[in-house]
Each structure stands twice: as C-alpha cells, then as structure tokens.
Chain A
Amino acid sequence: MTIQQEAGREVGRPRKRKEDARLLTGRSRWTDNLSRPGMLHVMFLRSPMAHARITRVDVSGARGLPGVVAAFSGQDFAAEQGSLPCAWPVSEDIVIPDHPPMAVSEVRYVGEAVACVVATDRYRAADALEAIEVDYEPLPAVLDMKQALTADSPKVHEAGNKAFSVKINSGDIEAAFRDAPIIIDRTYRQQRLIPCAMEPRAVLADTDGDTFTVWSATQIPHILRVMLAVVTGIPEHQIRVIAPDVGGGFGSKLQVTAEEVLCLLMARKLGKPVKWAESRSEGNLTVHHGRDQIQHIRLAADADGRIRGLQVDLLADMGAYLMLVTPGIPMLGASMFNAIYKMDAYEFGCTGVFTTKMPTDAYRGAGRPEATFAIERVMDELAAELHMDPLEVRRRNWIKHEEFPYTTISGLTYDSGNYEAATDKATAMFGYDKLRAEQADRRDRGDPVQLGIGVSTYTEMCGLAPSRMLGEANYAAGGWEHGAVRMLPSGKVEVITGTSPHGQGHVTAWSQIVADALGVPFEDVTVLHGDTAIAHKGMDTYGSRSLVIGGIAVLKACEKVRDKARKLAAHVLECSPDDLEFEAGAFKVRGTESQKTMQELAWAAFTAHDLPDGVEARLDSDATFDPENYSFPHGTHLCAVEVDTETGMVKIRSYVAVDDVGKVVNPLIVEGQVHGGIAQGIGQALFEEAVYDAEGNLLTTTLADYLLPSAADLPPFSLDRTESPATSNPLGVKGVGEAGTIASTPAVVNAVVDALRPFGIHDIEMPCTPERVWRAVSEAQEGVRR
C-alpha cells in the first residue's frame, strides 16, 4: 500500500500538532511534575574525585536529621544493584567492565554516585547530603586518550585502558595510496559535548508490594523495562515503565541510568514512592556525554580530484564505563566516512579508550556526524589543494542520481538520492556565485572582516535499523518496531505505537498516516505511547527511526484492520470481498450505491449482532515492521560566515539547507526538525565543549560555562527540500531527526576555514571560538612576518 501526497490526503499536509495544547498551557506531565501519596525525595552524593579508592562512607550523620527517611551508600546496594548494561559488544576483544550503579569500592569519574539520602522533601535531602562523610584514596586520573594507551599509563580498569579495537577493509587501500598524486592527511578533534536536553532527567519509582512502576524522563521505556529486569532481577512482568512527557533527549535519554536502577531499588527497600529530579549542574556531570573522538583521516586522490581511497583511524573516548551503546557510537560512523563519494578502497580502524570521565554515548547523530564532519572537511581540503571549487570536487566524486541503487565501498546500498538536484537548488537559494564574488572582493581589499562559504553535502544512515544488520553488527537487540490500531465502537481510532516521542510529534504524524489508511478524519485518531502497560511492545525512539520504522508498523496494522473490515463489509453487504472497493473511508460494492463506512463497520464489530462465522468481535490489529535496509536522507547545506579577523569572532550571515528526506508526512514537523538540528550542529561548530581540567574536574557544569546558543546567537535558516522517495518502506520516508545536526557542523567549520584560507590556515579546532580563530590568524601573520 503506497500513499501518495495528494489532495484530500492527510500525508503531506502541514498539520498543526495535536501535542501542543497541554505543553502550551502548563499542563505537561514532566516526570518531576508527578506526585504520589507519601512520596519521598532522593538526592545523590557524587564523587568529587576523578579516580579514587573509596575507603570509608559514613551515612550515619545524615540519618536522624529532620525529614530524613534513609541514607544509603554503595555497600547498601552491593548485593542487588547488578551492573549497568552495555548492549553493544562491538568486537571480540571488547572489555566490558563491571559498572555498579552506585560506586562501592572505586570511583572513576567526577559525579559518580557514592551515597544518597531519601527525605520528605528535596530541601531536607540536600541538607542531609552534607552530613555524609566519604574518605577517598586518590588514584591517578586518566584524561588523555593517547597517553591512556601507552604502556606506563595508570589504568582506569584493571584490564587496561583499551576497550576494543576494530579494523575494516574494503578494496586495495595500499594500491589506492601508492603513487597517489594527492594525499590529504588530517587529524580532527570531535570535542566532547553535553547533550543538554532542556528537561533535566527525573525518575519516580513506586511499588504496591508486588509490582513496580517507574516513571522516567527516558526515550526508551521498553528497553528500560527489560534492562531493569535484567539488572535488578525483578521479573519483567512486575515492572511497568512510563515515559510521561519527556522534554527532549537527543540521545541523552537513550540510556539505562544508575538513578533509574537505584530509585527502583529504593522503592523496593522502603516500600514507598521515591522521586529523584536532577539539577542542571548534576546533569552536566552525569548525563552521558557525546562525541569525543580524535579522527586521523587520509585521502588519496588523482590530480583531477577523483578520490582513490580513504583511510580512517579513530580514537574514541568511552569515558569510565561502557554504557548502553557507548562502543557502538563510533561504529555507527564506520560505513559513513565514504559518504556520498565513490572510491576504490576504504579502511576504517577504531580504538575505544577508557578515561576517568563521564561515559560517552548517543548524542544526536551518534557516530554519523563525526564521520560526515571528517569527510566533508577533507573534501574542502582536497578542493583547496587543487584550487578547485569545493562543490566541483564533490560533483566529480559523488554518486550520480542515475547510479542508484548504489553499493558503496563500505558495503551499504544507498537506495535513492539526487545530490545534483539538492545542490543546484541550494546554490541558487544561497546566491552562491554572488557570495563568492563578494568573498573575492573582501580578500582583495584586505577587509578585516572576511567572508567564508562552507559546503556540506551529506548523507546519513537513518532508520535504525534492520534487525539482521544490527545482528551482524553484534548489537544485542533488534531494530523492528511495533504498532497497533483499534477502531473504537463509535468509529474513532486508537493507535498504539512502540516509539516514544519526546518532541517529535508522533501523535500528529501517526494520525495523518492512519487517517489516510483507514479513511477516517485526522481528528478522530488518538495515539498512545510511552507506557509499557499500554504499548506493550516497542523499540523506542532514536536514530531517526520512528517514522521510518514505527510509522510503517502503524501503517501495516492499518492494512490488517482494513482487511478485517473488508471481510466484515462483504458479509454485511452480502457480496464477495473482491467486489468491494475502498474509497474515502468506506467499502463500496463496485458499480452500486451500496456501501459501509469504517465507522459503521466499527459499530457492527462492537454490537456483533451479525458477524460472519469465525470472525472475532473486533476491528483491531497490530503489526511489526522491520525494514530490509537503512534509509539514506541527504542534502546540501551552505553556510556563509563573517569572520572578524581582528577579534576572531565568527558570525553566521546566512544558512541554506536543502534536504532530501524522501516523502514527507508533515512538512511543518520536518522543517522544525531540520531547524533544531542545524542549531545543534552550529552549537558544536561554534559554542559547545565539555572541558575537564588536569585533575579530571568538569569545568562546564552550568549553562553559564557550557554555552548553548540563544535566539540572539543564531540567524534564520532558509530551508527547502528535494524528494527522492526511499524504497525500503511503503511511505517512501527516510527520517529527519538527525539530518540538520549531521550537515551543519561541517558546513559552518568549512565556512570558517574558507574565510581564513588567505592566511594559509587550513583548520580551526572545534568549537571555533573567537580565541581559537584569533590565535590561528595571529600565528599565521607572525609566520608571514618571519
């Protein structure tokens, strides 16, 4: 069943969101808004040391203080807390260290929980934390990845600082580099980022004695449920997980956290509801961080710019432990460095390294922005080397639209795309030639404010993911999604999805899909999600997968409901099912006026007065969908920056994005996703960095130090789309959650470097702070003077 965007169809319409009303009027259900009778409040005491042996924890001072119900140390949980899971053992040699939710004998990063207080309110809990005594015997911090891998480095874990190593080859890499006229050899740093979803994490756990309910600000209620069962030994059927309204995630809430496990255990210990709500400074320390790679990338090319081969060697900072998908993040980039380009050979190596820092894990794009950044930066370097326009060097190498489907050097098959179309549209909107002319003029004049133009022609691997491919990659779970659809007696429709939206608008978009598939009004559809007792089966929301997989599961469930309705209609209308055509929400007997609407059939199923033999009294069904391939959105982003060479300040002057996310269900939502993604990618390019000092203390614990761009720091973005439908799903959709973030970081940094080319500068480390830009310029000028 393919749905076309056409008049009268819901799919393709810019529907305003159904989700908005409660969010706009202050009736949201954030986890921290929830309350249970007798609810207690938890606060955690966290390690001030990056690495230390715990020699004593004395919580007795906290017990007995006003309002304090209990105080616990790691020892109190040792027998029951298990180890936080890592679901992605990427290699044979991987070391997965024990990861106790509360540290018992050793702490390995600043912020690791060492004790906690349960009190009648959070003010009392905060006071009591100060009465807990902990003695530490300091151990050496391990902060630098390269040093960590040397033989004499102190160890984070007994087994050493190497978590894993992977090598992948395709084609003859030696031949590609042998006698290559051009070799570009660069090292880039993907700085460590803090996701900073606006809603801090929060957990509420309650028990009725037999069963447990955990409300959590999570992206993954279903995965969390099974993992909580595995970690704590509480049987899965006795755990219900609810993700109420969740205020953004960007991967940071794709995690099974220490606090979730510990709150559940405390609810069990105390037989009372306990709630923990994170503060921002606590969150900056202990929400898993993102990125943090050193990327060594080498590209061999012919003199005309044709790429011969690409060699990538990564060091990926795991932090102190491997969390849910920590080691898988750099591996998600493994097949993406070759991007949209054709080449003869590719080699990828990655070493995961332990350090005494907060573990890293998924952050918007997860592995793919890192890969895209490196290749798009290097393509610009190749263009500069050849004195060629960066778009021209890309044109010479990219897969042409008539070559799809195309199997890349890294083995992925890109099903559809049109890089030429997106680029042509983007350059026209951007006024590319005019800006190049202005750039030349400013260069000629020696204007202290130089203009830079940045290009990023990206693709990404979305729709995580085909279960078979995940299995081949050694991921512990599948990539299917589940959807269920039920016609209520009155003809309204209840949809249950296994995805877990936290800002993406699934309720609206799924309603559009269902409205078309069942021929019911958009307004008649409601979508339930995020509660394992309601949506019993799901794989949740991350990796731009929800529409591509979850949306299709809902569509498949609709097909089944329609098949049931057809049988029922045939019975009621006394004809053969083959004589019926489905149109505008009704089954019509071909060539006659006689028909039954879906609403009438829903009522007929409810009353069940006249059902055919063997037909159950229900018009509902469910389905799972597991695609055969990833989807591959792509696009061309162009960024113009003005760089004040006297101060180093970078100002984005204009930004154009033309994305191809396949068919679009709701253009309003798609546009919003791209806007937000671009802003986050700009954040990495210009503003954001998690900084640890030489002792392993995080210096960027507050939003005064970890800088997020505000409205005043960003320009408006000009957006458009091209449309090459995906072939891996019946809607032709590709996913859009991560596109903007993946594309924008290299576009901005390429623009900054482009502005500074006349100074002989060929890189600025991210974030491109004014100080870094100024230093590069002044060093270049001194070089000239010398």
Chain B
Amino acid sequence: MLEVRGVTRRFDNLVALHDASLSVGEGEFVAIVGASGCGKTTLLRLIAGLDSDYEGEIALDGQRIVGTSLERGIVFQEPRLLPWLTLWDNVAIALENAPLSAAAKKEAIAAQIALVGLSGFERAYPSALSGGMAQRAAIARALVGHPSILLLDEPLGALDAITRMRLQEELLRIWRHEGVSMILVTHDVEEAVFLSQKIVVMDTHPGHVTATVPVDLPTPRDRASPAFSALKGRVFEALHDNAAVKPPEVEYLI
C-alpha cells in the first residue's frame, strides 16, 4: 500500500537520501535500521509529508503523498505533548478536524487511552507523566484518528531498557489490535528484529538503502532463541559490510 520509489532528498549540496526504495504492505510492520546520518529520519519525514522537497515517488494506496495527512499518524522521538493540555486534550487534539460527532470522538479518545494503558490519567498534565507514559500518550494521539499507517521515529530511543522492552510488547499488542501498518525507525537492531516483519537496512554517505531483510520468526518472539540471534547477526552483517558481502538470505533492492 505504501510505495517509496527512487527517492532522493538533497539539502543544498548534501545528499541526505539517495535513491531509496521500500514498500509496506497492508498491516505490515516494517523497521528501518541504520546508523545516525543514514537518512532514516529524513525518509520518515518525507513519508509523513512534513517535508515534500524530494525527487522520486512516494505513494500511499497509489496516491502521491502531498503534505501531511491524518491517514499517516506519526510518533516523534520525544513525546511532544503540549504541556498546557491534559492527557485527554493532548489525544483529543488529533481529532480536532475529524468528521465525527462529539460523542464519537469522546468514545474514540477513551478507547485509545485505554488501549495504551493510561486510563485514570486523563486529567494529568504532561509534566506529571513519566517518559514511558508520555510516549504512550503520544502513541494514543497518533492512533486515535485511525490512520492506515503509523510512522514511529525512534519512539523508544529515550527510554530506559526496562520501559523500552515493556513498550515494545505494548507496541506489538497495539499493532495486532489495530491492524495498522507501521514503519519503525530505530537504531536498535534487537528492537527491529523483535517487532517487525521486514527490516530495511540503511547506510550513510549518502544515506541509502542497502538491504531488506525479511523477518520470518514466529510470534511471540523469544529474544534468547538461536533463530532470533541468527537474524540479528544477519542484520548486523548487512549494517556493517552492506554491499560487500551478499548472504543468500538477504534480498537486495539496489
């Protein structure tokens, strides 16, 4: 449903992203991994429509992406909650322009807050929430309008290891419950292997896609299993020697 074909993004003379291609199927969970500076966030911002100065083609359901849309929810690296709004209002603001009745909005907001496990905190201001709670609220805000695809820009990067693992499970549960496609940008290979069905590996200078690794592990995934480790190893390999080595399991796009 989401097709990215030959996308290049230049900032003056710097090529941040060169000829990147990837596809995300209906309800698919795709992870993009790579070191900082590989253009993964640039790519996500292009898909979100926050940046539209690019060459190539990005299309959702055959429609070229122009500007932002509620069809594409986004969760940023930091929760980015408005500090003057309560949790409820922070989620509600995403429905400000939704063509729904007040009652339907209320129901959707309550359901979404319940889904991310924050019921009871509706009236709390962001300053009273922990980092993990704030990021859950940001996820609820991105999902409340029922987008067809959710874009996650290293949403768990700033959290401690325990909270991060817990939220990874949550993310998986939400993904199953909502049936929404997800693109997760991360630099944590384990996170990518744990969550996604497909991993797009990127590299720097200029930012480009080096490999796409399918993750065919059964769920729920056991982080300690040999198959899990083997897959992690394959992704690391793709990260390190990208085009130099070509293991048979890795399917190359370029």
Tell whether A and B belong to one assembly: no
Interface of B toward A, CB cutoff 8 Å: none
Interface of A toward B, CB cutoff 8 Å: none
